[in-house]
């Protein structure tokens, strides 16, 4: 039966493929693809774990006291029967052989299939046997975890390996942590669907960086969609179509082909300088998460890296933070890959929806904070861990010997923080000089993502060389909206007059002080905002590499001076989005 699920569109385009449900059982387990050579060994792992559980159950039966209720022995018999049922054993083996799932994933996938069958049974007694099945599978998963030297709960991350299946695969999950999303960078998945999340949650941001369709905030998708269902992701409308009809399938395949043609056309703009019709040069930088992403930035025609999110070097490490040398090598790799173009490295921005695997001592004291978005995160966390902060700064400064490097500080709100930062910078420079380490001048910038920072910008500007506006958090904090909460996602409004006022004021004040200013939040990569930001005087944008071509096309068609003359009237509008679209489209038509 075909049905639709609706959520929040976060990455445009159409994806068609088979559903892959991750962590669908009650026990979190590792999910990864295995190679052809590993199939037999993985089947043996599953078989050995099942045999181990069978021995445990038989031992329990033998150890039952003589006066034990008859029902206990009968229950153990039911579990033993389920343990050897071909519907579980044979199908699990099939997942391993045909889909190349690891044993844990194969068991979880088949549990999902069988659990739904139990749910659809009319007989109450049979329907309640689902709990027995879950208990049996959990025993097998525990046996597999013991064999790997871990517990099921600490093996929840999803690891990708090379896999060549016949059908495209779409990932369906209740949620995907940002650190896990990073492992999907070059994965087999062609699209993502999650139950929770908002338009600018970091899961959504990484999905956009991969340039594949994604819909989040669907609430029930992971429970409604079954393993191996045919699914269409409409990343433009935020719709998920499950088991589509042949007519609908053909319509979306046509849309896929049209989208591919449009991408090919935009790709031809790669080497075209981003200059407006009236001759204003515009820098289009790239946001990256890992050094390897610099290649995609160059391929997209980026004029530099406007935001290197260094926190992703700190994630998925089982609590072991990268040392100075490892960070230096990563930063140097990105700098060298950019071939002399500037690289802006943001100091680690953990907290809120980007926690580390293991909290430091200072974080442990705050692990039960009610609102992590307003807690110990970003520069607050760095300043609470001064040795870690200086270690990262030393690595960044050392990388400056290999190209143009800038350092960006997130979530600044107090002048006292700026003074502490400058003290740390001076100490780091002295340490490197004493150690004979090479480095060059590194420009210092702050992210304007808290309304307080925007309002006190004139006081901050003497301390910095440049300003970068993080619109994602600026919107969140200005409107008091948790950007990862789908329950209030409809209130997250980048067109809100207060947000636009802070943007325009920040850009104007930075330009007046002769300090460079850029926008590195999601607004920078949305062509709907390009004309507006140009009108405000912005001449530096930073976005995901995949978004550069469409924004460049908008820049090439814009007349910045004419757009700027329209800005005062638009600022007074009750509906800025409608006013901007009407006014700026009229300007484009006149050209």
3-state secondary structure 431-462: HHHHHCCCCCCCEEEEEECCHHHHHCHHHHHH
DSSP classification of residue 149: T
Residues 85, 460: Cα–Cα separation, whole Å = 68
Burial of 294 from C-beta contacts in 10 A (0-12 / 13-18 / 19+): buried
Closest CA to 304 of 330, 266, 274: 274
Residues 570, 220: Cα–Cα separation, whole Å = 40
Q: What angle do CA 420, 425, 429 make, to 5 degrees?
A: 150
Burial of 438 from C-beta contacts in 10 A (0-12 / 13-18 / 19+): exposed
Residues 281, 589: Cα–Cα separation, whole Å = 22
Q: How many CB atoms lie within 10 A of CB 179?
A: 20
Beta strands in 432-545 (DSSP E): 443-448, 466-469, 516-519, 540-543
Catalytic residues: 202, 520
Q: What angle do CA 398, 400, 402 make, to 5 degrees?
A: 100
Q: How many CB atoms lie within 10 A of CB 327?
A: 24
Instruction: Spell out a b/e string for 350-387, using b for 16 or more CB atoms within 10 Å of the CB, else e.
Output: bbbbbbbbebbeebeeeeeeeebbeebbbbbbbbbbee
Longest Cα–Cα distance of the chain, Å, equals: 93
């Amino acid at each position: 039966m075909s049905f639709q699920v609706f959520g929040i569109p976060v990455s445009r385009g159409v994806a068609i493929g088979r559903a892959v449900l991750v962590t669908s059982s009650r026990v979190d387990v590792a999910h990864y693809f295995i190679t052809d050579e590993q199939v037999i060994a993985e089947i043996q792992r599953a078989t050995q774990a099942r045999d181990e559980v069978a021995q445990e159950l038989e031992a329990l039966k033998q150890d039952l006291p003589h006066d034990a209720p008859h029902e206990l022995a009968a229950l153990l018999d039911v579990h033993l029967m389920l343990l050897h049922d071909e519907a579980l054993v044979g199908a699990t083996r099939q997942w391993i052989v045909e889909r190349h799932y690891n044993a844990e994933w194969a068991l979880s996938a088949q549990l999902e299939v069988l659990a739904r069958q139990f749910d659809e049974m009319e007989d109450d007694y049979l329907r309640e046997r689902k709990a027995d099945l879950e208990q049996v599978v959990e025993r097998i998963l525990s046996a597999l975890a013991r064999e790997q030297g871990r517990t099921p709960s600490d093996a929840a991350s999803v690891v990708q390996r090379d896999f060549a299946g016949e059908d495209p695969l779409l990932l369906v999950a209740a949620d995907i942590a940002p650190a896990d999303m990073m492992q999907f960078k070059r994965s087999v998945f062609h699209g993502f669907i999650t139950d929770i999340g908002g338009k600018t949650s970091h899961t959504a941001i990484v999905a956009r960086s991969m340039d594949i369709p994604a819909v989040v905030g669907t609430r029930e998708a992971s429970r409604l969609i079954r393993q191996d269902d045919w699914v269409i992701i409409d990343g433009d409308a935020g719709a998920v179509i499950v088991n589509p009809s042949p007519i609908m399938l053909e319509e979306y395949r046509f849309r896929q082909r049209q989208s591919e043609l449009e991408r090919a056309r935009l790709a031809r703009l790669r080497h075209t300088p981003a200059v407006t019709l009236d001759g204003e040069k515009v820098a289009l930088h790239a946001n990256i998460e890992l050094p390897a992403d610099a290649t995609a930035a160059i391929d997209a025609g980026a004029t530099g890296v406007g935001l290197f999110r260094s926190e992703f070097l700190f994630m998925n490490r089982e609590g072991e933070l990268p040392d100075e040398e490892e960070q230096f090598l990563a930063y140097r790799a990105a700098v060298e890959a950019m071939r002399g173009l500037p690289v802006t490295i943001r100091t680690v921005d953990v907290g809120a929806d980007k926690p580390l695997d293991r909290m430091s001592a200072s974080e442990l004291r705050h692990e039960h904070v009610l609102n992590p978005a307003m807690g110990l995160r970003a520069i607050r966390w760095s300043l609470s861990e001064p040795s870690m902060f200086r270690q990262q700064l030393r690595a960044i400064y050392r990388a400056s010997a290999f190209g143009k490097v800038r350092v960006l500080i997130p979530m600044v709100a107090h002048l006292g923080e700026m003074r502490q930062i400058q003290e740390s910078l001076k100490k780091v420079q002295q340490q490197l000089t004493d150690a004979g380490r090479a480095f060059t001048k590194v420009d210092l910038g702050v992210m304007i993502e808290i309304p307080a920072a925007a309002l006190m910008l004139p006081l901050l500007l003497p301390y910095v060389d440049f300003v970068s506006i993080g619109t994602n958090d600026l919107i969140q904090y200005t409107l008091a909206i948790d950007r990862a909460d789908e329950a209030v996602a409809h209130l997250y409004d980048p067109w809100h007059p207060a947000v636009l006022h802070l943007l325009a004021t920040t850009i104007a004040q930075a330009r007046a002080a002769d300090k460079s200013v850029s926008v590195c939040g999601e607004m920078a990569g949305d062509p709907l905002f390009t004309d507006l930001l140009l009108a405000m005087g912005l001449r530096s944008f930073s976005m995901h590499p995949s978004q550069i071509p469409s924004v460049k096309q908008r820049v090439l068609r814009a007349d910045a001076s004419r757009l700027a003359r329209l800005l005062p009237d638009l600022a007074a509008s009750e509906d800025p989005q409608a006013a901007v679209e009407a006014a700026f489209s009229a300007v484009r038509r006149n050209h």
